[in-house]
Amino acid sequence: MCERPGNLRQIKVVERASLGTLFEAIEEEGYTIVGPTVREQTIVYDVLDSPDDLPVGWTDEHAEGTYRLARRDDDALFGYVVGPHTWKKYLFPPRIRLWSASRTSQGFEVNEEHRDLPKYAFLGVRACELNAILVQDNVFLKGPYIDPVYKSRRRNTLIVAVNCTQAGGACFCVSMDTGPKASGNFDLALTEVIEDGRHYFTIEVGSDRGREILGRVTGKDATKAETASAETAVSRAESQMGRVLDTKDIKEVFYNNYNHPRWDEVEKRCLACANCTMVCPTCFCTTVEDTTDLSGGQVERWRRWDSCFTTDFSFIVGGSIRQSTRSRYRQWITHKLATWIDQFGTSGCVGCGRCITWCPVGIDITEEARAIREKEPVDTSAGAEP
Amino acid sequence: MGFAPGQFNMIYVPGIGEVPISISGDPVDPIPVIHTVRAAGTVTTALCKMKAGDVVGIRGPYGSHWPVRESAGNDIVIVAGGIGLAPLRPAIYQLLSQRDHYGRLAFLCGTRTPREILYRHELEKWRSRFDLDVEITVDHPGEDWYGRVGVVTTLIPLAGVDPFDTTALVCGPEVMIRFTVAKLRQRGISTDNIYVSMERNMKCGIGLCGHCQYGREFVCKDGPVFPFSRIERFFKIREL
């Protein structure tokens, strides 16, 4: 976890040619650097060896149900927005064995799970994604029960944020108050500046650990002009943001509209494919699978990501509670934007736009929220007599 | 293993799976741990096939509980539908262990057929007490049934409780809860004093897997027992 040091405003300038020294300084601390890299025509998160593994000169184009990589006319390293991966795959693995057990004459004996605890440095965490990590911290670390897998991985993780200098076609972080600039809870935060033939990064310190690492990186203290250029670049992202989600009284908007006709309408489009939940950086639902070997002597229990869009998700004896796609989409968006606030004190949406981009039929959460709000019918369902 | 009435355990059958099952033993005397299991799915069927000496995994107790201690001084009406009696049995034990702390106790129990009446021996024992009103009804009587016939809500007028100082504890299928709550309200009991136990899919039992969400509630950690007033606005929404 990142602690807030006394002096937050230490900003260093590192030239593009010296960025490799940041990688070296992080690796010297024993971290495995993971971050954005191009694979199969997408920008995914994977292990990075050097700045050359970053998506050099690439950008990503987003629209409802559309994602394409495109060449930039410069060699920006962080000139894209977000891909289909999220950092949760490292903190909260998609599939993990919780434990295994062996049958004995007395019953069965649980074998302790020996986990290799990875020590990751996340490099290239967007402000929205940083907020998504904080949202999952609330889920996994702040309740009466703590998730030990998440806790051990989270504690070990170094966070190097990268402020956005452009908005993607699906972004709405400004509406959700989660970006485009990372405002704390990081170890280091970079802003990429390309101007007048010069390519450099301003790097802000967010923790003592970050300060130590930055101390070994080749660079110099930022001038006022360089800091101002970085700030201008970030404000460009803010002004480019095309999508808006109005969050005023949003909880009541959804609580009062469980029977809105829009749910029937969205059901005609939604495939219940669960893509939105898989790419969402805050979705945390899991299921467990119990397996045995052929003899029944060895049993294992696995946990894997699950989605509220499946029929099985709500199954109880007698049948699934949420039979219709209408009810499952309603559950998902109402959880993200409304019930999450009562459960965890924040919205479950950080405005990253992934669910819009990766929806195969282009359902847009901001448009659905607007439809629920703007065509609010008289609905007496909530609060009425049973 | 101490527990409060209304709580549940997660019971694991090696290699087959894990299910939440309410505890139906005596909270005053909690060992051995007692569960009432109906063979309904894969895991409960496996559980019901087990023999003495077989081993299961167990973790808990989890969840909220019936407000038995909190209702001292009140009349109590307990309404059970079918296997919904299982999580209510600990409440009855606890009430009877401190009988003088409460006013009238009415216990209303309905099942589909006489065969499905749980804890028959015990019900007969309770029925013979003068300080506990026990009423039993079935929907579909057989030839050998001489008792009441009809749904459990028909018993509610028989509970001679003071509506202003009554706590109601209700457990059964959702449709039964709906009609029972409506009838209790008609009798003047506030929804703040009507407690219901809800059922949803559960994988973890500790609020992390997301399956049991019911509106803003996690049934596993915020429930399963809720004052009806807390879930009222969500209760009549279908497929929630």
Could you tell me the pTM of the whole model?
A: 0.94
Average the pLDDT over A366-386 and give the result: 70
Mean pLDDT, rounded, for A6-25:
87
Of A356, A331, A293, which is closest to residue A103 (Cα–Cα)? Answer: A293
Residues B48 and B75 in one domain: no
DSSP chain B: ----TT-EEEEEETTTEEEEEEB-S-TTS--S--B-----SHHHHHHHT--TT---EEEEEES----TGGGTTSEEEEEEEGGGGGGGHHHHHHHHHTGGGSS-EEEEEEESSGGG-SSHHHHHHHHT-SS-EEEEEESS--TT--SEES-GGGGGGG----GGGEEEEEES-HHHHHHHHHHHHHTT--TTSEEEE-----SSSSS-S-TTEETTEETTTT-SEEEHHHHHHHHTSTT-
Chain A residue at shortest CA distance from B43: A290
The reported pLDDT for the residue numbered A148 is 93
Which residues 274-293 on chain A approach chain B with CB closer than 8 angstroms? 284-288, 290-292
B159 and B109, same structural domain? yes
Residue B206 lies in a domain: no
Q: Are residues B45 and B80 in the same domain?
A: no
CB atoms within 10 A of CB B189: 25
Domain of B75 in residue numbering reads as 69-197
Q: Where are the domains of chain A?
A: 11-95+113-238, 250-285+306-374
In this structure, the answer to whether residues B48 and B76 fall within a common structural domain is no
B90, part of any domain? yes
Residue B174 lies in a domain: yes
Query: B172-206, pLDDT tens digit by residue?
Result: 999 999 999 999 999 999 999 999 999 999 999 99
User: Quick one: pLDDT band at residue B130, thresholds 50, 70, 90?
Assistant: very high
Query: Does residue B216 belong to any structural domain of this protein?
Result: no
Buried b (16+ CB within 10 A) or exposed e, B155-182: bbeebebebeebbbbbbbeeebbbbbbe
CATH number at residue B138: 3.40.50.80
Q: What is the ipTM of this complex?
A: 0.94
> For residues A351-362, b (16+ Cβ closer than 10 Å) or e, as one string?
bbbbbbbbbeee
Is residue A336 within 8 angstroms of chain B, CB to CB?
no
The tokens for B25 are 């033993």
Say how many Å lie between the first and final Cα of chain A, rounded. 47
Least CB–CB distance from B181: residue in A321, A324, A386: A386
What are A286's two structure tokens?
């899991």
Q: Could you give the CA distance from residue B144 to residue B149 in angstroms, rounded to a whole number?
A: 12
Of the listed ranges A60-64, A156-160, A235-239, A380-384, the one predicted with least confidence: A380-384
CA A21 to chain centre: 27
Task: Tell me the pLDDT of chain A averaged across its residues.
Answer: 93
Question: Which of A277, A290, A305 has the most B C-beta neighbours within 10 Å, making it the best mutation to test the interface with B?
Answer: A290
Tell whether B32 and B15 lie within a shared domain: yes
- A368: Cβ contacts below 8 Å, ≥ 6 apart: A262, A266, A333
Tell me the per-residue pLDDT of B78-106, one tens digit each, with 9 for 90 and over.
999 999 999 999 999 999 999 999 999 99
Last residue of a domain, one of B62, B82, B98: B62
Residue to test with chain B: of A110, A300, A317, most B Cβ within 10 A: A317
On whether both B77 and B145 belong to a single domain, the answer is: yes
Among candidate residues B62, B81, B101, the one where a domain is terminated: B62
Owner of token pair 């439809």: A371
| B26 and B82 inside one domain | no
Number of domains within chain B = 2
**Same domain, residue pair B29 and B122:** no
> What is each CA distance from B93 to A282, B26, B90, in whole angstroms?
43, 6, 5
* B199 at A interface, C-beta within 8 A: yes
pLDDT of residue A6: 45
CB pairs under 8 A between A and B: 112
B173 and B152 within one domain: yes
Residue among B200, B239, B240 with most chain A CBs within 10 A, to mutate: B239
Length of chain B: 240
Separation of first and last alpha carbons in chain B: 34
pLDDT tens for each residue of A216-272:
999 999 999 999 999 999 999 999 999 999 999 999 999 999 999 999 999 999 999
Q: Do A116 and A84 meet the contact criterion of CB atoms below 8 Å apart?
A: no
Q: Please state whether beta strands A32-39 and B217-218 pair in parallel, antiparallel, or not at all (unpaired).
A: unpaired
Q: Are B116 and B136 contained in the same domain?
A: yes
The per-residue pLDDT for A112 is: 82
φ and ψ of A384, to 5 deg: -80, 170
Domain assignment present for residue B215? The answer is no
Would you say residue B223 lies in a domain?
A: no
Instruction: Indicate if the pLDDT at residue A3 is higher than 60.
Output: no
Please indicate, yes or no, whether residues B54 and B76 belong to a single structural domain of this protein. no
Q: Does residue B117 fall inside a structural domain?
A: yes
B176 and B84 housed in the same domain: yes
Q: What string of H, E and C letters represents the secondary structure of B180-202?
A: HHHHHHHCCCCCCCEEEECCCCC
| Number of neighbours of residue A13 by Cβ within 10 angstroms | 19
